[in-house]
Amino acid sequence: MQKSVTHDWGDFCSQERKMNNINTVGKINIAVGLSVMTLFMMYGFLLIYMRDFHPDKDAWIAANAMGAHFESRLVHVHGNLFSVLNIVFGYLLMTLPIAPGYAKWVSRLALAGLLMPIGIMGELYLGLPFYLVLVGAVSIILATITLALGVFRIR
């Protein structure tokens, strides 16, 4: 007679729950990264509309290489790049056994890195000073360095 295999779903669910609670620091980075990416993708679609479909597109194209157009492309590119970095960093923080202190710093610094594209947009449309851009740039660099150190420390 063949033995039937039974699965203990209660044990499986409790084990999965235990695994999910090991390191949840990166969840916020993934959620924020996806949300901010959505906004900057929509902004990119606005730029495409302005270039291809807007009634005054010829004037917009003629002014493309200078000033605000260059800045708007920087916002779109850096917003999406830093969003992807937050998603990747969040995933790594959730899956790798990085020390909790390192993980919290990486998470917070990566989120603060989003201040760079937000700051560029603030400069462009609101005339804000460049401080947010600098804080964001330094934060994303420090997040990357801290994550690298945390990974190096894994045994």
3-state SS record for 34-59: HHHHHHHHHHHHHHHHHHHCCCCHHH
Which range (57-71, 86-100, 115-129) has the least confidence? 57-71
Query: Which pair of tokens denotes residue 29?
Result: 């980075």
**pLDDT (tens digit, 9 = 90+) per residue, 41-57?**
998 888 888 777 878 87
CA-based torsion, 97, 98, 104, 108: positive or negative: negative
Which range (25-34, 44-53, 64-73, 96-105) has the least confidence? 64-73
59 or 31, higher pLDDT:
31
pTM for the model: 0.79
Query: Which pair of tokens denotes residue 143?
Result: 């997040």
Contact 112, 136 (CB under 8 A): yes
Looking at residue 76, what is its pLDDT?
A: 85
Contact 104, 146 (CB under 8 A): no
> Where does the pLDDT of residue 91 fall: very low under 50, low under 70, confident under 90, or very high at 90 and above?
very high
What's the count of helices (H) and strands (E) in the chain, helices before strands? Answer: 7, 0
